[in-house]
Amino acid sequence: MIFISKYIVPKGYAGITIFPFVFLKYKASKADKILINHEMIHLRQQIELLIIPFFIWYGFEFLIRCVQYRNWNLAYRNISFEREAYVNENDLNYIKSRSFWKFFKYL
């Protein structure tokens, strides 16, 4: 389910996925297939890791990357979940062909 909310989506980002919802900052973003695919990849990741463990892992890895890179954006871009989503966001069939084990190559 996709919602538009400029208040939930953090500044500098176009969307955020919090199972089972995808929040987009702008109404026009609903037509952006690449962005929607990126967020759907996150939705699949959350389901596979049973939601709460996903957010714990995401937060923990983000903290590690912040210490590693000392740069917020670089840390965010290098979270394994984000790397997988950014690398595959242009492949609109990725979710159909993705196996659970594919995620581990982004660690």
**Residue 12 phi, psi (nearest 5):** 95, -5
Q: Is 21 helix (H, G, I), strand (E, B) or coil?
A: strand
Q: What is the pLDDT of residues 75-86, one digit of tens each?
A: 999 999 999 999
pTM of the model: 0.91
Percent of the chain exceeding pLDDT 70 equals 93
pLDDT value of residue 4: 97
Nearest-angstrom CA–CA distance, 52 and 43: 12
Q: What is the pLDDT of residues 50-61, one digit of tens each?
A: 999 999 999 999
Nearest-angstrom CA–CA distance, 38 and 42: 7
